[in-house]
Amino acid sequence: MAKSRSKTALVKAIEKSDCPIYLIDGDQRLAYGNDAFFQWIGRRIAPKPDETTAIDGASDLIGARLVYSTSSSLSPSQRRLSGLAPPPALAAGNRPFTAEVSCHANDNAPEFISANFSFVDVPPDQRYLLAVVSKSHIDQSSTTALLNRDRGAPEQLHAALIKLATSLQSWHRCSALIGDSPYVTRLQKQVKAAAQHSHEFTIRGPSGSGREQLARLIMQQRISTSHGGSDEFQLVTLHGYVADAELVQSCVAQATRLTTQAALETSHRTDKTHTWMLILDADVLDAAAQAELWSSLQSPSSRLRIFATSQRDLIQCVKTEGFHPGLAHLLTTQTIETIPLRNHLSDLALLIQYEIENCNVDRSTQLNGLSTAALGMLKQYHWPGDLSELAAIIDSAARNCNGSEINVGDFPEKFQFAIAALKSPPKEVIEIDLEKYLEKIELELVARALRMAKGNKTKASKLLGVSRAKLLRRIQHFDLQHPIAATSELDPLDLSADDFRPLDEPLFEEADE
């Protein structure tokens, strides 16, 4: 009886505690939170002084999964609780630990606070994780400061991603905008500026650098703004590698039909609605497709607007390949350039953590990050496939990983072979020009024979075992009119007549056994 009263008193003390306290079950779901916890995350359950009943803001959160991720594909409840998930590597242990957690109360900037985690065994055989959040705030002044503390620590990278997700909001779904380098900072500003205007643009860069994803996000932001917050839209895409004049006509007609239908459904005037079409790899469009597209754009009744991706400078293509000048200048009204991943490797650690946390959304067991050895291996690679290749490698490694940390052995074999090849580069092949090599030897033998014969060509020819006429031709060929002076730079050697045996005798005798 006394034991039961003690439990009741403990539960009441937890519920009335000023410190946020929450409980995570074995499936990483929120099992309990006290009043202070829900108030801290912006879900008030205690009544105000002028209210008689509390507003229950906890019903949709109890049972929600705490995912160690900042992925944009999380549900609203998961996104609100994602900052409260403990590091998987620590949660997989058996000892109490302290870790940083964060929350987005009322969608404000994330608030980082230290929390003490303890394991609680619940009969019959369940293990829960009890978190008690302290009242001491942790100063997280900037994403850069977080990364400078320890660029390889997954916990710090996770905290940096939380701040970055808050600042980027919907742009966070694009890996090309993840990082803190000057290049990524500039790219973030460029795409946000492009989303605020309605003119044509081109995103130029290498394949796999996120060009198409950036282009689609820019248009999604534009249409979302112009349609009162709705981000659902259909976009016709034309692939430059397969496009011809007939396909261009078909795509233009389809884009016009979809835009008209969307305008009617949203009560917009069809004569004021633009028809947008995305052209992938516009720099490889053939001449007929370019001409047809330009014709469609110049039609008086046309509402067609285009934007594109390319690997090369379209203006330069006008000069070198005869690309349509009007089309090139229209598409380059604004040009946003992406660069290869190997040129901004300072963002690699954060990009890796970003891809790992994207994998966590669909995993039953959460990943903490990379081992030190695995991170070192990724830094050695030159990334010919850019961001797309990075995402594929991390996804494959996550599927192979059985623990909370990706190790070297989890990477796909093809990638491991590529790294091994980098450590053992092929030996440099030294080319030998046989004709020049033999000519050099002949020159040296002729010069030495003349020197031993003191310029007497008849004696020198006998030493060499050739006719005097042949020797004269070789002297003229090598320009040895003054042989002693011409060969004065040669290393002096003790030569005798035995060194100039006839050419029908072997130059090297076999050694005695």
C-alpha 82: how far from chain center: 23
Same-domain check for residues 331 and 355: no
The residue from 294, 318, 341 where one domain ends is 341
8 Å CB contact between 341 and 350: no
pLDDT at res. 74:
87
pLDDT at res. 308:
95
Q: Is 1 within the bounds of a domain?
A: no
Q: Is 324 within the bounds of a domain?
A: yes
Strand partners, 309: 203
Q: Are strands 369-370 and 335-337 parallel, antiparallel or unpaired?
A: unpaired
Q: How many domains, the chain?
A: 4
pLDDT at res. 483:
47
Instruction: Please give the DSSP secondary-structure letter assigned to residue 29.
Output: B
Same-domain check for residues 216 and 303: yes
Same-domain check for residues 245 and 310: yes
Same-domain check for residues 211 and 314: yes
Same-domain check for residues 325 and 455: no
User: What CATH number should be reported for the domain holding residue 462?
Assistant: 1.10.10
8 Å CB contact between 226 and 196: no
Q: Is 507 within the bounds of a domain?
A: no
Comparing CA positions, the residue from 357, 356, 301, 297 lying closest to residue 327 is: 297
d(CA 251, CA 242): 12
pLDDT at res. 509:
42
pLDDT at res. 287:
94
Q: Is 509 within the bounds of a domain?
A: no
Query: Cα separations (Å) of 52 from 18, 57, 89, 190?
Result: 22, 16, 44, 51
Same-domain check for residues 263 and 362: no
Contact residues for 359 (Cβ-Cβ < 8 A; gap 6+):
367, 394, 395, 398
Structure tokens at 35: 């009043």
Same-domain check for residues 335 and 210: yes
Task: Tell the residue number behind the tokens 């030495």, with chain if given.
Answer: 448
Same-domain check for residues 403 and 352: yes
Same-domain check for residues 199 and 302: yes
Same-domain check for residues 248 and 329: yes
Q: Is 283 within the bounds of a domain?
A: yes
Question: Rg of the chain's alpha carbons, rounded to an integer?
Answer: 37
Structure tokens at 246: 């007939």
* Domain of 334, in residue numbers: 182-341
Q: Which regions of 347-490 does DSSP assign to beta strands (E)? A: 369-370, 405-406
Q: Is 231 within the bounds of a domain?
A: yes
Q: Is 172 within the bounds of a domain?
A: no
pLDDT at res. 294:
94
pLDDT tens over the chain, length 513 residues: 555 566 677 778 888 888 999 999 988 999 999 988 988 888 765 555 554 444 455 677 888 899 999 988 888 888 888 889 999 999 988 899 999 998 866 556 778 889 999 999 887 778 899 999 986 665 555 444 444 444 568 888 998 999 898 888 888 889 999 999 999 999 999 999 999 888 899 999 999 999 999 999 998 888 777 655 444 456 889 999 999 999 999 998 888 887 777 666 666 555 556 778 999 999 999 999 999 999 998 988 788 889 999 999 999 999 999 999 999 999 999 999 999 999 999 999 999 999 999 999 988 889 999 999 999 999 999 999 999 999 999 999 999 999 999 999 999 999 999 998 887 766 777 777 888 888 888 888 888 888 888 888 888 888 888 898 888 888 888 887 654 444 444 444 444 444 444 444 443 344 443
Query: Cα separations (Å) of 35 from 18, 39, 58, 103, 492?
Result: 8, 6, 10, 15, 99
8 Å CB contact between 215 and 347: no
The residue from 285, 308, 341 where one domain ends is 341
User: What CATH number should be reported for the domain holding residue 124?
Assistant: 3.30.450.20
Same-domain check for residues 337 and 348: no
Q: Is 170 within the bounds of a domain?
A: no
Same-domain check for residues 360 and 453: no
pLDDT at res. 230:
46
The residue from 341, 363, 391 where one domain ends is 341
